Structure 1
């Protein structure tokens, strides 16, 4: 953790001195990239661990970490149980079980008109996190730049740091968390090797429209950069349709598309992810991936193949259910006095604490479990120092919980103004 004299933002945002290669050890670069090093070099715990500990110690409802509190479809669980009983308990092929690779290819064609070859253009990974790590480690080296939007999911910074690259960001701006396209263009340079895109976007809940994605593709082509697109929330949108960036003209040849079973099917503990893209890019990522985990989750892979073939009403149903849950929590957050930014996708909702006269969301996040019995995550922890200042009054809440839990959380939050 940071020293006693450092500020909350310092603890998680770091001092900004080494978002490039520096002379630090690889683990230190990873920690710095994930905002785990304080200015004095102390190693802290993640904000997720801190908020979870606070939630447990106070009996608070934990709306910080984004994992569901109920299982996904029973037919997928039954398929996993059957696979275990039938002996599918040894190493899977390094590229993934054929049935799952075929199901991923069929899913991409069914929903988006993309047609990857399951034998050469699809790779199964240990969750989307490994897919992102393997892709960046395959293509990025010291001196390169990796561009993300900001706020950014914390593992992006960690892997960029581990690879020794420089992490460059373009801000997403409230209230709709869309990028300023001029600022996006200014963030590119001749050293931009990879654009790491997250759409739908965590933590903001933004779903990027076609013109934003087209600008990303245009700039990636101009600077000859790859696009690595994290699309794990692809089926969790409320109104706007998800558009895979690989489906845009000129994008497919330079794009790796990543998704996973965890968010769509509510089986986060199974860690089944995948990526697809041009054969030569997938082969490069596979070369790295085989020396990370090689393979994992054999019985779960065939079960997720069953899930990907579920009918359309399953996919529309999960989005409809989540939208209802979003609205339950949003009502409680408005009653609390927050400024509420209603998301178009994911299962996260962001609020502004400034209407309550509070501009330090890190401090409020630490007090909230004791005040009203609800835990959240401050958005500044997903930013570099400049971005942390810009977002210092924002909090993120997860609504991927049972309806009754969200109703109770909304009731508790509604009392916040009286308790402050």
Structure 2
């Protein structure tokens, strides 16, 4: 039984939402960030990059306090307003590829996270969790929801479709050519129906936002321990989530880029690969694998297909069958000497939404020696690994949709 509740979102006014909404700070180039900060006074980037006002890089606790100050200024100036009653929010995206995503922004229970009603499939880095927890505690809000997925549900779907017959509260198109829509669900009957529908769902899965949800858990522990009158209804008992049905989730792969061959010549490397893989040289023609346990490799100006010899590799757990784990266990670790996939500077990742020629160009530039591609993780794989209590290697999935920051804000 999952506990999903409505909340009073802080939101931009309708006339300014397209100006406020931003991608994650890290996704912009420096030139893009500066352009938005220079010419758009309403961009949410002004809040998360408060030092720009003083032409100074500011970090740590000092930055957190300035983030809070900028946020309060946006509220004082009427850029942000808070809804008077708790609502669910239907959020729809139609992207440039004409993919459509329909989900609900709501508050998810930290207790569900603790009890594994909300299941995880990726490991998190403790230091990042603590940093983000401290950030949340200082600024007092979260503007980027955790992406959760649930089995398709007729009740929830019918309410979403009914609400979408009315004019959207927001409708705007980004420079990425994605169109975003938002509707408020205020009707007590519909709010209760959605709440009840989620109580019938036994398990939710984190699709994207493992560090955000883990940091919310740490914040909950911190604030609860310091509140002698804790009741379990305080806002810190929940975190903001975007819940989307499994059928609308899109999972892409991350390709791997490696800087060197760990002291091996090209020929020595290929001979070692031959132990566990059937190798075919594809020449200059870009090759993208189409099934599990098949990999593409780009090395020295040529593409190769690698087919795993299953007689030499044992699938003992659901994780063992995951292609990202297969690649690590057979090549990256034993041959190329990469142990720490999160922190080793010799490995980098490029999302599979970019064409395989992007991997080629990265290697051709000389920054990397070899690149590997794989097929995306299937939804049933993600769920099975999470159900088994196992964790995928980092950067195993690139998941869509990607929401804009600053459209709905959850205050603690």
Q: Which has the larger radius of gyration?
A: 2
Higher strand share: 2
TM-score by length of 2: 0.25
